[in-house]
Amino acid sequence: MNRPHRRCESLTRRDMLRMGSLAPLGLGLTDLFRLQAASPNSFRAKAKSCILLWLDGGPSHLETFDLKPDAPAEVRGPFKAISTNVGGIQLCELLANTAKVCDKLAILRSMTSPLGEHGLANHFLMTGYKPSPVIQYPQYGSVLAHVRSMPSVLPPFITIPENRSSVAGFLGDKYEPFATRGDPSKPDFSVRDLDFFPGVDETRILRRRTYLAEFDRAQASFEAREDRSDSAFEKAYRLVTSHEAKRAFHLSEEPAEVRARYGPRMFGQSCLLARRLIERGVPFVSVNNTGWDTHENLALQLRDGYSGAKVGVGLIPTFDQAFSALVTDLSERNLLVDTLVIVMGEFGRTPKLNSRGGRDHWPRVFSVVLAGGGVQGGQVIGSSDRVGESPDDNPITPNDLACTIYTLLGVDPNLELHTADGRPVRVNQGGKLIRGIVPS
């Protein structure tokens, strides 16, 4: 177990058998996990909530957090590296604002996964499990919504603006996220259908609730099933009848200078909305940013945004302003200490530029950034090789990342969840806590 872990997959069946064979010595699997947990890494979880900035499509590690300024041009790509407020750590020149908050970030440069197709990789990164034909694993937000008791009437898992596919897996519809929809940067942004229909007041809403409960009770008794008391309707009912909760979505309450700090575009204002939600006790908010599947023309997509742009408004500058504002804002409000911020996409991009000036899918090594929630900032963990092709040091699998995220959020990775037919499934199977992620 102490040997450096260098196999192709993080934990093979053989490993499990080998560990299983320790059983005669009176050492079971759980003991092993406990031994691990009792290592110097054991600590008290600080993160109460989590903001996931999901960069959909797979952001290029070589243009963001893992530049290779000394590599040949076809690897190096179009952008330069700049220094940050932490000595020895360099980032892409387009991340100038992020460079100023680098002391709050842990940059993981040795993420590695075998899955290079969007759907599969997405599932792996969001759940820590490789896709299986028999079990749909739940994503972080759904697990957290399931584990945490609900402190507010706001939904426990909110996505801005929405998710394209089901994310709750075997935990079921109840733990699907609430999608805000719409663009928070628009002046008329509001979440649909939060206010009563004209002519329907609270008395009538209450009556509808009573009537509906009677119908559903009748159906359940016919099917000989238990009535589900906490129905989707009940959640909607609680939300629409709470004026306080609904204010979370009113971005117009924020001072103009705060709104400006996050940048005028959708991603920035979505990050601001995420902060308002976290502030009100929502355990998990995911901000989905699309467009990172940059198979062609990196300079246009990542920097410029449109051809001929004088000031770059592409993916990275937009991200840079929003992300740095979020970290700073959370920190100033003393929220960063108990909010874990995760920046990731499903994989990295090929070390060599392709003929269209883009990069294709590359899961063998890529970068993920964590901040807040007890994470030790100002450090790089792991490294990729000279050309950003493979992990050089301390390879980290999405499985390890999941173990780490759950641990930081105070969810025991060994906790058993249950599928609809009662099968126990651990929150995380076989992942290892990333070394050095928390202060020792």
- Which region among 38-46, 83-91, 133-141, 365-373 touches other proteins (by CB under 8 A)? 133-141
In sequence order, which residues have a C-beta less than 8 Å from that of residue 243 and are 6 or more positions away? none
How many residues contact other proteins, by CB under 8 A?
60
Cβ closest to other proteins, residue 193 vs residue 253 = 193
DSSP code per residue over 17-37: HHHHTTGGGT--HHHHHHHHH
DSSP code per residue over 121-186: HHHHHHHSS---SS--PPPHHHHHHHHS---SSS-SEEEES--SS---GGG-GGGSPEE--S-TTS
Token readout for 416 is 């058993």
Beta strands 105-111 and 366-371 are antiparallel
The yes or no reply on residue 244 touching other proteins (CB under 8 A) is no
- Which region among 51-59, 72-80, 207-215, 284-292 touches other proteins (by CB under 8 A)? 207-215
The yes or no reply on residue 243 touching other proteins (CB under 8 A) is no
The yes or no reply on residue 208 touching other proteins (CB under 8 A) is yes
Distance CA 237, CA 240 (A): 5
Among 7, 80, 247, 356, binds other proteins (CB under 8 A): 7
Among 24, 87, 187, 199, binds other proteins (CB under 8 A): 199
Among 30, 149, 165, 334, binds other proteins (CB under 8 A): 165
- Which region among 211-219, 250-258, 289-297, 305-313 touches other proteins (by CB under 8 A)? 211-219
Among 204, 247, 333, 356, binds other proteins (CB under 8 A): 204
Distance CA 54, CA 374 (A): 20
Let me know: does 74 contact 351? Beta carbons within 8 Å: no
Among 34, 80, 181, 418, binds other proteins (CB under 8 A): 181
Among 34, 333, 356, 423, binds other proteins (CB under 8 A): 423
Residue found by looking up tokens 């198979």 in the block: 295
Let me know: does 340 contact 375? Beta carbons within 8 Å: yes
Give the phi and the psi of residue 172 in degrees, each rounded to 5.
Answer: 95, 170
Nearest Cα neighbor of 179 from 251, 277, 109 is: 277
Nearest Cα neighbor of 268 from 293, 246, 287 is: 287
- Which region among 73-81, 89-97, 112-120, 321-329 touches other proteins (by CB under 8 A)? 112-120
Among 2, 14, 24, 40, binds other proteins (CB under 8 A): 14
The yes or no reply on residue 235 touching other proteins (CB under 8 A) is yes
As measured in angstroms, the least distance from the Cβ of 281 to other proteins is 17
Among 216, 254, 296, 385, binds other proteins (CB under 8 A): 216
- Which region among 39-47, 68-76, 171-179, 325-333 touches other proteins (by CB under 8 A)? 171-179
Beta strands 348-349 and 81-83 are unpaired
Distance CA 288, CA 270 (A): 9
- Which region among 5-13, 67-75, 85-93, 279-287 touches other proteins (by CB under 8 A)? 5-13
Could you report how far apart the first and last alpha carbons of the chain are, in Å? Answer: 21
Let me know: does 314 contact 304? Beta carbons within 8 Å: yes
Q: What angle do CA 275, 51, 101 make, to 5 degrees?
A: 80
- Which region among 63-71, 111-119, 293-301, 331-339 touches other proteins (by CB under 8 A)? 111-119
The yes or no reply on residue 188 touching other proteins (CB under 8 A) is no
The yes or no reply on residue 186 touching other proteins (CB under 8 A) is no
The yes or no reply on residue 366 touching other proteins (CB under 8 A) is no
**Within 10 Å of residue 415's Cβ, how many Cβ atoms?**
15
The yes or no reply on residue 193 touching other proteins (CB under 8 A) is yes
Interface ranges with other proteins (CB under 8 A): 6-9, 12-14, 114, 116-117, 132-135, 155, 165-166, 173-174, 176, 178-179, 181, 192-197, 199-200, 204-205, 207-208, 211-212, 214-216, 218-220, 222-225, 232-233, 235-237, 239-240, 420-425
